[in-house]
Amino acid sequence: MSDPTKDPAVIGGLAEALRAWRETLPEQFFALLLSGVAGAWVRAVFLPEMRLVRRLVEALAGVCSAMTLGWLLGAILDGWTDAGTPAYCGAAFAMGEGGIAAVRRLRKAILRRVGG
């Protein structure tokens, strides 16, 4: 038996399946991802966190917030304005920043309760 992970036909089929999956995703998915990363990056630049682990957690929270809440807010904005992808981009950018702010606020609230 040969190793299927080294078989060019299997790898080519997997690559083709990934390309087909990417083409079926809506355009807003990539807009949300890029705008969310941009929002999280802007927040991290203007309010930098000194500890790397906290910085990574906040960035992940920003991107996750952009992908979930940005999608919801983007759909609402798109429904109101019929703007399409720009509505999703704006919502994801705001939610990317908002995710970082929410994590910082939650962390401070927990530290206040534990410390005092």
Domain ranges of the chain: 26-115
- 20-79 pLDDT, tens digit per residue, is 766 766 777 777 777 777 777 777 777 777 787 877 777 777 777 777 888 888 888 888
Query: CA 48, CA 63: separation in Å to the nearest integer?
Result: 16
Say which residues have a Cβ less than 8 Å from residue 40's Cβ, sequence separation at least 6: 58, 59, 62, 63, 66, 96, 97, 99, 100
pLDDT, position 71: 81
Q: Quick one: pLDDT at residue 101?
A: 79
